[in-house]
Amino acid sequence: MKMMMGIEVHCQLSSKSKLFCSCSTDTKDKNPNENTCPICLGFPGSKPKVNKAVIDYGIMVAKALNCKVAEKMYFSRKSYFYPDMSKNFQITQYEIPLAVNGFLEIDGEKIRIKRIHIEEDPAKLVHKGGDITTASYVLIDYNRAGMPLLEIVTEPDFTTPKQVRLFLEKLSSILEHLGVYEAEREASLRVDANISLEGGERIEIKNITGFADVEKALNYEIVRQRGLLRMNMKVERETRHFDADRRVTKSLRKKEYEEDYGYIFDPDLAEVEISKEWLNRIAAKMPELPDQRVQRFVKQYGIDEYQAKVIVYTDKNLADFFEKCCERYKNAEKAAKWIITYLLKSLNWHSISIKQSKVNVDSFIEFLELMDSNTITERYAKELIKEYVDTGISPKELIKGKVKSLSEKDLKDIILKVLEENQKAVQEYLQGKEKSIEFLIGQVLVKTKKQADPKIIRKILLSCIEK
């Protein structure tokens, strides 16, 4: 069945002040409506003034997404009534946005970027006495109102919901590398996803936060719409909302009529001319981008491209973490393997990022070195890393008392003892019964209380038998 999927991503940019006023964008631990002024609250007589840094940031993102930046751009008023809108119009861009016609490559496939524009964020609503469909009234906190948003609109080029998630992860990493965005902020990246299946109308799922949720919402929609179409039922054009707890999409009210936004140029704002000099100034300060970093990781650390991509695209902080480890810990491949396979898994299990976790470079290196010195086995390390991510206690502390340090000589003594006690199995092995060696390894493991690495046991065992 043919399927069309596209997204609109709203990312909050990390300028110090809001898009059109000097209120702080740092809303953490703030009282409701503390970060407001007559401008972001749209009080009569107040006038907006554009924050230059936001345009700088927008140009950086446009360049990173291979877009064409406008020579002149304008702000428009998009009129619609809603309690989260302080003016009942949103200042956004319409005819001539900041940038158009770019792309982002996901595993060799180009996802086209239609446009990037700058707009203001609406306020945050708390639905009192229920959810959006059942509340009896709303509480409004305008701290978020007027925060700078970058809206990135793709063409409907996605082929799977997973690809959408990968796109969002990579996009987020790009924004972080550019230093224009804080992934940790609440609702710093919100997605409207469009999906239509052949034979059905376009469905829009509004305001999904969290990359995994976007994937889940789209997967749910595919199943739902397919079901409807199979039963010859209509998929009508509508806007839906993703219920993250129940993992389903729900229909928002069907409006009696399409909202008519009645765009006009915002007469309080002047056109913005983006000169060559301005573009050059930005180009000169563009930092290393994720794709470049992946290539460097392959070259510099000798890890494979797949590993480099996971580390870099997941999260800029993870890539920074990896590089810091490699400064002092020379086995980059081993570091990469343990970061991707085990550390990341534990972090994901807790749904936290490396920055939010208690893991740090020193203790992680310590952890790797415990394996290198055979103090702990790989098998035990897999257990230990979970505890380490949970508690943040240094691995050395964690194993105190649990593992008596097992030197190679101790291990050899144990092995010799096992050989002595199991002469029969040794004979069988020498007669060609391969499996007997596994039995012997098992016996050693029992004696070492599983604190030795089976690979090393095998090596010593074999050398002893051959003697």
Partner 1 sequence: MIEIKTVKEFVENADSIDFDDFISSVIEKCEKIQSKYQPFITINKNHAKPKKGLIHALPVSVKDCICTKDLQSTAGSKILEGYIPPFDATCVTKIKQQGGVIIGKTTQDEFGFGTFNVNSKYAIPKNPFDVERSCGGSSGGAGCITAAADFPHIAIAESTGGSITAPAAFTGTYGLTPTYGRVSRYGLIDYANSMDKIGVIAKSTYDIALMLSIISGYDPLDSTSADLAEQDFTKFIGKDIKGMKIAVPKEYFGEGVDKKIADLIWEKIKQLESLGASYEEISLPMTKYAIPAYYIIAVSEASTNLAKFCGLRYGLHKQLSGNFDEYFASVRSQGFGEETKRRIILGTYARMAGFRDAYYLKALKIRTLIIQEFKKTFKSFDIIAAPSMPVLPLKFSEIENLKPIENYMMDILTIAPNMAGIPMISVPAGLINGLPAGLHLMADHFNEAALIKASSSLEGLE
Partner 2 sequence: MKDYWKIDEKLVEHIAAVARLHLTEEEKKKYASQLEDILQVFKQIDDVNTENVNPSFHPIEIKNRLRDDEEKKTEWDPLANTKHKEEGYFKGPKIV
Shortest distance (Å) from residue 85 CB to partner 1: 8
87 binds partner 1 (CB under 8 A): yes
Q: Position of tokens 């304008």?
A: 74
Q: Does residue number 37 form part of the binding site for Zn ion (CB under 5 A)?
A: yes
- Name the residue among 373, 363, 371 with its Cα closest to residue 395: 363
* Cα-to-chain-centroid distance, residue 321: 15
**Residue 268's closest CA among 14, 42, 26, 5?**
42
Q: How far is the CB of 15 from partner 1 (least distance, A)?
A: 18
Q: Using the rule CB under 5 A, give the single segment among 145-153, 285-293, 342-350, 408-416 that binds Mg ion.
A: 145-153
Binding status of residue 260 toward partner 2 by CB under 8 A: yes
- Residue 410 contacts which entry, Zn ion, partner 2, Mg ion, none (Cβ below 5-8 A, type-dependent): none
Q: How far is the CB of 140 from partner 2 (least distance, A)?
A: 4
d(CA 221, CA 238): 12
Q: Interacting stretch for partner 1, rule CB under 8 A, among 45-53, 299-307, 352-360, 408-416?
A: 45-53
257 in contact with partner 1 (CB under 8 A):
no
What's the Cα-to-Cα distance from 221 to each of 202, 398, 417, rounded to whole Å?
11, 45, 63
The residue within the footprint of Mg ion, chosen from 141, 151, 157, 291 (CB under 5 A), is: 151
Residue 44 engages partner 1 in binding (rule: CB under 8 A): yes
Least CB distance to partner 2 at residue 248 (A): 18
Cα–Cα distance measured from residue 390 to residue 81, given in angstroms and rounded to the nearest whole number: 46
Place of tokens 């936060």: 209
DSSP 294-319: HHHHHHHH---HHHHHHHHHH-HHHH
Give the per-residue contact string, 112-131, with partner 2 (x = CB under 8 A; - = no). -------------xxx----
The one of partner 1, Zn ion, Mg ion, none whose footprint includes residue 151, by CB under 5 to 8 A per kind, is Mg ion
The amino acid at 425 = A
DSSP-derived 3-state class of residue 168: helix
CA distances from 351 to 356, 390, 424 (A): 10, 12, 52
Q: Under a CB-based contact definition with an 8 Å cutoff, are residues 63 and 77 in contact?
A: no
CB atoms within 10 A of CB 109: 14
Give the interface segment with partner 2, choosing from 218-226, 257-265, 379-387, 452-460 (CB under 8 A). 257-265
CB 135, CB 149: distance < 8 Å: no
Q: Which residue lies nearer to partner 2 by CB, 275 or 341?
A: 275
Q: CA dihedral in degrees (328, 334, 335, 341; nearest 10)?
A: -170
Q: Which of 23, 406, 414, 415 binds partner 2 (CB under 8 A)?
A: 23
Check binding of 40 to Zn ion (CB under 5 A).
yes
| Residue 331 interaction partner, one of partner 2, Mg ion, partner 1, none, beta carbon < 5-8 Å per kind | none
The one segment of 13-21, 72-80, 104-112, 440-448 that binds Zn ion by CB under 5 A = 13-21
137 binds, among partner 1, Mg ion, Zn ion, none (CB under 5 to 8 A by kind): partner 1
> Residue 76 and residue 274: Cα distance in Å, rounded?
17
C-alpha distances in Å from residue 277, one per residue of 57, 65, 284, 456: 16, 20, 10, 63
Give whole-number Cα distances, 177 to 166, 286, 304, 462, in Å.
16, 9, 21, 51
Q: Which is nearer to partner 1, 262 or 287 (CB)?
A: 262
Which residues are paired to 250 by β-bridges?
241
CB of 136 to partner 2, least distance (A): 6
Positions touching Mg ion (CB under 5 A) are 151
Positions touching partner 1 (CB under 8 A) are 38, 41-50, 77, 79, 81-83, 86-89, 137, 140, 260-265, 267-270
Positions touching partner 2 (CB under 8 A) are 15-17, 22-25, 31-34, 36-38, 41, 49-55, 72, 74, 81, 83, 125-127, 132-142, 252-253, 256-257, 259-260, 262, 265, 267, 269-273
